Amino acid sequence: MGEVILTMKGIDKSFPGVHALDHVDLEVRRGEVHALMGENGAGKSTLMKVLTGIYTKDEGTITFEGKEVEFHNTREAQDAGIVIVHQELNMLGHLTVAQNIFFGREFKKGIGIDDRKMNEEAAKLFERLNIDIDPTTTMSDLTVGKQQMCEIAKAISHEAKVIIFDEPSAALTEAEIEELFKIIRDLRAQNLGIIYISHRMDEIKVITDRVTVMRDGAYVGTLITEDCTKNDIINMMVGRVIYEDPKTHSMVPEGAPVVLKVENLNAGKMVQNVSFELHKGEILGFSGLMGAGRTETARAIFGADPKQSGDIYMNGEKVTINTPQDAVNHGIGYLSEDRKRFGIVVQKSVAENTTLATLKEYLSGIFINKRKEEKVAQEFVDSLATKTPGVDQLVVNLSGGNQQKVVIAKWLCRNSDVLIFDEPTRGIDVGAKNEIYKLMNKLAAEGKAIIMISSEMTEILRMSDRIVVMCEGKITGELDIAEATQENIMNLATREIS
């Protein structure tokens, strides 16, 4: 670790009705990876937006390379050497990799753009980062992991001195995360300051040097990563103790009836001959790497995508599911991994979203019974501990974790027999995660059958009664929780690749 390159001191920022940042401090040194942690809504993103000039601070000072600075837009921050690699990839899918990297500051040749030079420069960048990407590839043709690499290359090309990674690993496979870490270590060795935002505790321990924790918009403290345990950090974040113990044995009662049976389901390349059974009161974990076909399987079962063949039985009876509507009518609920696109209507209120799938029950004649709707919504807000000023709040104003809770409420409200949770805790902070876990256990105990698709091994091992592992569109194995370990799951998940 070198000298201090960036200091944020006493940063204060209020929005109408919300005190988003309450005198927050942050210090970053050259050649360190500095984790910024906190639950959703703790103010991490706001702090970074203040730093990069998207928001203007109300109070406080930012000192960068010994001088007090104030950026008015991302461009100024970039020019000074502070760049951000966003959680949601900011790529322009129709343009090439090189065109993306140099977007906004193209090399000129006469009146035109010098694409050749941009390709050469991009190739140099990739060489420096030791990444194998062809700069002339169209962006949308790359995998998510490779796209992330391009984002990093873009950040570095700005002569960056401080790079902010905002949940960079959220969409990456294990192998891609390894590659990412290698790059981050390289950058650290080149004496850059790196701010690393993530929810994944394991990563924090592996990659970061120091950790700054925020809670409810306020600064809690800064620790040296090596000197603290996971639980220390979590305790600082949530102010209470959380245990992440794996389940040791199945909680499903002996002889529980089969609720959902899928036989030889085929839907494109990603779903090949998928067969499994789901019992009453069971949490069936679907594990596998990104692109293993888990989400595709769920979508095919739910009728969201067409299937070529295969039979689905509900409670022993064969059913036809061609549309999500059919699925809902047969008592299947699906909580999409991509909430913004499929799960919620962001411009509607919490109450309206909660009752979206069950609106019929809230009608008085042709009118919606607002009071009943709000009462039910309030119950779910309470039981799920959704952080919202009220049930009339627009969902767009909630944090990701709280949006997820609204989606869960929607399907709970519907009283579905089978619930498919697709990455239920993606982008959700530790405290809220725990609540969602408790909730899923409670639902299983009440006799709901749950399919949980998850890329987090700890989540799979903690929650599942039984685990189905997929790889490249096929089920490669099925494990009872008693016999499942991280190792044998990974073995099945990579069976055909290696």
Partner 1 sequence: MANQNTAVAAKKKSSLDKLGGQKFIVILVIIALFLFFSVMSANFRKYTTIVSILDYSYYIVLMSIGVTFPLITGGVDLSIGTGLICYSLVGGYLISFHNFPVWGGMLVTVLFGVAIGLVNGTLVAVMDIPPFLVTLCTCMITRGLGAIIVGGFGITWPTATQPGGWFRNIFKISIDARTKIPIGIVWVLILVAVMSFVLNHTKIGRYTIGIGSNKEAARLSGVNVKFYHIMAYVISGLFAGLAAIAYSAVFATVQPGTGAGFELEAIGGAIIGGVSASGGAGSVTGSLLGVFVICLLKTGLPFIGLQANWQQIITGLVLIGAVLIDVIKKRREVH
The secondary structure element, H or E, covering residue 100 is helix 97-101
CA-CA distance, 256 to 361, in Å (whole number)?
30
- C-beta separation of 453 from 337 below 8 A: yes
State the DSSP code for 298. Answer: H
Segment 55-74, which members bind partner 1 (CB under 8 A)? 73-74
The tokens describing 219, both together, are: 């600064």
Tell the smallest beta-carbon distance from residue 152 to partner 1 (Å): 15
Q: Which of 46, 78, 349, 393 binds partner 1 (CB under 8 A)?
A: 78
Instruction: Give the end-to-end CA distance of the chain in Å, rounded to a whole number.
Output: 38
CB closer to partner 1 out of 72 and 438: 72
Tell the smallest beta-carbon distance from residue 105 to partner 1 (Å): 7
CB closer to partner 1 out of 304 and 357: 304
CA-CA distance, 203 to 168, in Å (whole number)?
11
Count the residues of the shown chain that bind partner 1, applying the rule CB under 8 A: 31
| Strand duo 466-471 + 283-287: pairing | parallel
State the DSSP code for 324. Answer: H
Segment 80-99, which members bind partner 1 (CB under 8 A)? 86, 90-95, 99
Provide the β-strand partners of residue 67.
Answer: 64
By CB under 8 A, is residue 104 in contact with partner 1? yes
Tell the smallest beta-carbon distance from residue 102 to partner 1 (Å): 9
Q: Which of 22, 27, 186, 305 binds partner 1 (CB under 8 A)?
A: 305
CB closer to partner 1 out of 113 and 228: 113
- What residue type is assigned to position 210 of the chain? R
Tell the smallest beta-carbon distance from residue 462 to partner 1 (Å): 30
By CB under 8 A, is residue 490 in contact with partner 1? no
CB closer to partner 1 out of 36 and 101: 101
Q: Which of 66, 67, 111, 483 binds partner 1 (CB under 8 A)?
A: 111
* Helix/strand/coil for 87: coil
- C-beta separation of 497 from 471 below 8 A: yes
User: Binding mask 134-173 vs partner 1 (x if CB under 8 A, - otherwise)?
Assistant: ---xx-xxxx--x---------------------------
* Dihedral, 316, 461, 442, 385 alpha carbons, nearest 10: -130
By CB under 8 A, is residue 289 in contact with partner 1? no
| Strand duo 18-29 + 4-15: pairing | antiparallel
- The contact set with partner 1 (CB under 8 A) reads 73-75, 78, 86, 90-95, 99, 103-106, 111-113, 115, 137-138, 140-143, 146, 175, 268, 305, 497
